[in-house]
Structure 1
């Protein structure tokens, strides 16, 4: 038990120092804090210059709520709970494996350090995106998970910051299911992960932005605003009542597994979910919502 307490303490101390360093040090390209700000300003600028829904305000409905979510989920959530929880869970999982004489390294199929960096990053990106696509499907299909995911689907007007409006339990679910698949290909350093992470953030911001882009033939590879807006449609097709267009960064999984649905230009479709008129409109209410709701509808 003392070991886990030390892990939690060290996690808080380490992440606090990391966050403090991110705020005061801007001389490295993989600074997540300022990287998020730059990406957000660029995509917001594209929204302003090329608005798809021209009658939508620059400061759209819930703009400031989503901006708060963006910084809370990307930085403060880690400080409050996620880093300590992740490190403790990883240590606990490794201890359980050690009881039966197994280590996580025994699951490792190969070490990406033995591959050209570009190939290793590509493998990391493909595996993580596919696992996240499947996790996203679970968020829609499992009633308990759906109640967490409703926070994200409570967006009524799409904009770049809506990308990071989600309940704090979502990254717990994502990270838990991603732990072993990523562990089996280990060997990444922080800058390797940053490259993939910044790319995913950019695509995610664009997917939620007020932009009418689909990238032409690349729409069958990359998720895009015209496809992702249908993921947020309030009235789902009857044959796909659990959800559509689950793609995170890549759209190709939806086309491969037949969960794609872009019937027409969705610029003006109604967003949300059944009963969203009764969903809390404030941050605290949305975070507490799953505590007293346990059904999907």
Structure 2
């Protein structure tokens, strides 16, 4: 147990040093902090110049709440939870394997770092996006997970910052389910993965932006604003009580597994979920919503 406590402590101090370095260092291209800001400003600028819903304010409903979520989830959440969780989970997983005389290297299907860099990044992107697509489906199908995911679906007006409006438990679930498949094909260079991460952030921002784009024939490969708005539709598709269009970066999985749904131009559809008017509208109350809801159900 002491080993795991030390890992958590080292993770916190190490990430805090890294975060301070990101804030004061602007001379390296893979700076996550300023990379997020640049991507956000570019996509926000596109919203302003090419607005799809022209009656929507530049500072739309919950703009500042979503902006807070964006920085909290992208940086502070990593400091508070994810780095320590990931490092501890990796050690626990390795310790379990050691009981049966195995190491993580024994489980690796191949050495991805022996492939050309472009091929290894492509594999990382495809595997992680497919796992996240499946995880997203689970968030809609299981009531407990859906209570966490409601934070994201409480968005009533789409905008770039809504991309990172989610409950802190979501990345815990995503990271946990993603860890093993990525570990099995491991060997990724962290700096190289930054390229994939910036790309997925840009696509995610665009998907939630006030833009009416579908990328033409590429809509069957890439998730896009015209498709993703239907994922946020308050009225569910007639053939699924769990929603549709679960794609994170790629729309490909939805078309392959028949979870796609774009019946018509969705520019003016109502967003949200059933009884969303009863859902809290502040960060703290949204954070504790799954617990308070459970308590209310128990006492009622």
TM-score, normalisation: structure 1: 0.98
1:143 correspondence with 2:143:
yes
Deviation at 1:185, TM superposition (A): 1.1
How far apart, in 1, do the equivalents of 2:82 and 2:96 lie? 21
Cα distance in 2 for residues equivalent to 1:137 and 1:83: 24
CA distance in 1, matches of 2:21, 2:257: 43
Instruction: Please report the RMSD computed on the Cα atoms of aligned residues, expressed in angstroms.
Output: 1.2
Specify the alignment match of 1:202 in structure 2.
202
Matched with 1:60 is 60
Do residues 73 (structure 1) and 88 (structure 2) align?
Answer: no
How far the C-alpha of 1:238 sits from its partner, in A, is 2.8
Per-residue CA distance 1:30-68 (angstroms, 9 max, x = gap): 000000000000000000000000000000000000000
Structure 2 residue 161 is matched with structure 1 residue 161 = yes
Do the aligned partners of 1:8 and 1:87 also contact (CA within 8 Å) in 2? yes
1:167 positional shift: 0.2
Q: Normalised by the size of structure 2, how large is the TM-score?
A: 0.97
Residue pair 1:48, 1:58 contacting (<8 A) in 2 also: yes
| TM-superposed deviation, 1:195 | 0.5
Which residue number corresponds to residue 133 of structure 2?
133
What CA distance in whole angstroms lies between the structure 2 residues aligned with 1:104 and 1:290? Answer: 35
- Offset of residue 293 of structure 1: 2.6
Aligned residues: 296
Alignment deviations for residues 206-249 of structure 1 (CA, whole Å, 9 cap, x no partner) = 00000000000000000000000000000102311111000000
Contact map agreement 1:213 1:224 (CA 8 A) in 2 = yes
Equivalent residue for 1:101?
101
Which is worse superposed, 246-255 or 285-294?
285-294
| Unaligned stretches of 5+ residues in structure 1 | none
2:270: which partner in 1? 270
Shift of 1:294: 4.6
2-side partners of 1:176 and 1:195: how far apart?
A: 22
Q: Secondary structure at the match of 1:55?
A: coil
Supply the distance in 2 between the matched residues of 1:101 and 1:108 (Cα, whole angstroms).
15
